[in-house]
Structure 1
Amino acid sequence: MSLGDKISNKADDLGGKAKEAAGNVTGDEQLQAEGKTDQAKAGLKDAAEKVKDAVGDAAEKVKDTFRK
């Protein structure tokens, strides 16, 4: 996962937490839900990037095995 992806995902997560907190303070259930959704999206993107990295690493190991 690139540093830019990590930063973007963390920013989305923090933005979601801020929205959720603002919704909690103001009693705005829609804002709370948006915050939770933003956090979930950030988590899914983070997980997808980790899977992509793992698959890439595995592919490199397979290539290295056949090069020998």
Structure 2
Amino acid sequence: YNGTSDLQLERMNVYFNEANGHKYVPRAVLVDLEPGTMDAVRAGPFGQLFRPDNFVFGQSGAGNNWAKGH
């Protein structure tokens, strides 16, 4: 956290878990049917923020077919 508001710092635990060394990890579960999307997130600039076990994905996508993915 980089800021001056004590109130914001108090409420960090709503959206983040504090890890070792005052590092904050987002409380998030990332879900997709296609593993390629998750690979792109992991390789992106914010990929290291998320816990690896919070990525949930299938083996193949729905091919842009909503009915198949639902």
TM-score (norm 1): 0.25
Which structure has the bigger radius of gyration?
1
- Greater RCO (CA < 8 Å, at least 6 residues apart): 1
TM-score (norm 2): 0.24
Greater strand content: 2
